[in-house]
Each structure stands twice: as C-alpha cells, then as structure tokens.
C-alpha cells in the first residue's frame, strides 16, 4: 500500500478523534481547533512515510506539539493586545458565568486544574482519549514504563486533590448532628 493511501486511511479514520483531542485542550477557543487540526494533518502528510501501523497515538503526539505552538502564539497575541491596550476589559466586554452554570462533575475539573500541566495531560490521554500506557508513551515520546509511572503518579496526585476538596466527614460533626 502506498504512503498516500495509508495517509488517506489514517485521515478518514482518525480526523474526528484528533479534532476532539484538540478541542478539549483549547477549551473555549473553538475558532482555533480547525486550524490546529489542519496543521496536525499537514505534518502527517509531510511525514506520511513515518506513519506507524497504529497512527492515532502518533497523531496525538503531533497534535500535542501543534497545540503547544498554538498556545505560544495565542499568548504572544494576548501580550501584544495587552500592551496596545486592546484587551477585552478596555472595550467593556466581560464574560461572566451564571451562578447556575456549574455543571455536574465541575469539581473534577477543578481538582484537575490544580495539577501540573504534565499530570493533566497524562490523565486526559488516559481518560478522554482512552489510551493505554504504551499508547501514552508514543504521544509523550517516552518509554512504556515511564508513561505507566507518570499515569500512576498523576492519578495519585488527582486523588489527593479530590480528597483535599471534600467537605469534612460526618465523624467530624458533634454527636447530636450525626443522627439527625
């Protein structure tokens, strides 16, 4: 099978998975998703001879690099706008979430947000992209054992954050409040 045919098959099979991967990481910046996904597949086209037999983890690795470039570019543009005085607050445009806009499970996202970016990414690869340690290793560019250890440690740190966020247990209440 030619490299062109292999690329076309990878594109058809994995376009939406890569799009979802990118969209989840560009939280709220949907205008950039298509641009980043296009860059991912442009890189994949240029490197189509390098596409592995199971290309999705490899494509996630490319997407991770493209996202890093997009984030750096976004930050540069924000700094420039801030220096020019054209930030959103200067134009009176504020985005305020309604008090009832909190969705179920928001506490998980809060706990996740308290972790390092590296921990967040390895957990997202496991949970959102449903990758195993060997596939995560491909995305992160490390060995399988290292990926498994990163995932284990990130899960441990997430559990610790969740435990810190929990309200005090019933045992901490005085006796008269325990039995209602």
Measured distance CA(121)–CA(128) in Å, rounded: 10
Q: In this predicted structure, what is the pLDDT of residue 30? A: 73
Q: Tell me the mean pLDDT in the region 121-142.
A: 89
pLDDT more than 70, % of the chain: 75
Residue 58 to residue 139: CA distance in whole angstroms? 6
Q: Over 50: is that where the pLDDT of 127 sits?
A: yes
- The verdict on pTM exceeding 0.85 is no
Q: What percent of the chain has pLDDT over 90?
A: 39
Contact 62/40 with Cβ under 8 angstroms? Answer: yes
DSSP class of 85: T
Residue 116 DSSP code: -
Q: Please check the confidence at residue 155 and state whether its pLDDT lies above 80.
A: yes
d(CA 71, CA 81): 15
Instruction: Count CB neighbours of 42 within 10 A.
Output: 12
pLDDT digits (tens, 9 = 90+) for 14-39: 999 999 999 988 876 777 888 899 99
Residue 82 has pLDDT above 70, yes or no: no
Any idea which of 122-131, 147-156, 165-174 has the lowest mean pLDDT?
165-174
Q: Compute the distance between CA of residue 34 and CA of residue 53 in angstroms, rounded to an integer.
A: 25
Element (H, E) at 52: none
pLDDT value at residue 167: 64
């Amino acid at each position: 099978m030619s490299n062109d045919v292999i690329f076309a098959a990878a594109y058809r099979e994995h376009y939406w998975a890569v799009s979802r991967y990118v969209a989840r990481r560009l939280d709220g910046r949907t205008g950039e998703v298509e641009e980043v996904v296009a860059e991912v597949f442009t890189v994949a086209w240029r490197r189509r001879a390098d596409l592995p037999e199971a290309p999705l983890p490899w494509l996630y690795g490319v997407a991770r690099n493209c996202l890093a470039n997009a984030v750096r570019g976004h930050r540069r543009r924000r700094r420039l706008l801030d220096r020019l005085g054209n930030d959103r607050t200067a134009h009176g445009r504020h985005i305020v979430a309604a008090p009832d806009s909190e969705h179920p499970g928001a506490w998980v996202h809060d706990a996740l947000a308290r972790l390092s970016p590296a921990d967040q990414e390895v957990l997202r690869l496991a949970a959102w992209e449903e990758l195993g340690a060997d596939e995560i290793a491909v995305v992160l560019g490390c060995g399988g054992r290292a990926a498994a250890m990163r995932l284990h440690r990130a899960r441990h740190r997430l559990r610790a954050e969740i435990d810190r966020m929990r309200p005090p247990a019933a045992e901490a209440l005085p006796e008269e409040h325990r039995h209602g």
